[in-house]
Amino acid sequence: MSAGGQFGGARGLKPQPPEKGVFPLDHFGECKQHMAAYMACLKEHGSQSEPCRELSKTYLQCRMERNLMAKQDLEELGFREGSNEREQPTSSTETDEKKRTGFIGGLSSVKR
C-alpha cells in the first residue's frame, strides 16, 4: 500500500487553497456585463488582450467591489496609473535586435 492514502491523497493533511487563480464564481451575474464586454473585445481583436486592458480593469474592479476576489492594488495586477499600455520597444529595429540576439523577458530590467 502506498503512503499517499487510498485515492492518492495523504491522510490527515489539510489541503491548502492556492494564493491566486481560484475565486468565487459570479453566481448572481453581478459582473456579467463587464465580463461580456471584455470577452467581446477579445473576440474582436483576435484574443489580443492589450486593446482590452481598460475593460479587464473594470471587470477586476467589479469583482473586488463585490468580494468575488481579494481586494488588491491594481498596480500589483499590472495596471499602472495614467498609462493604458505597457512599455513597448521604441522601434522595429530594437525588436529585430532582440530577436537576433536572443531576448529573455525580465532580464533587460536587471542592472548589471
* Of 50, 48, 79, 45, the residue nearest 64 (C-alpha): 79
Average pLDDT over residues 35-60: 94
Q: Is the pTM here over 0.85, yes or no?
A: no
- Work out the average pLDDT over 40-54: 93
Mean pLDDT of 26-51: 93
Report yes or no: 58 and 34 within 8 Å, Cβ to Cβ. Answer: yes
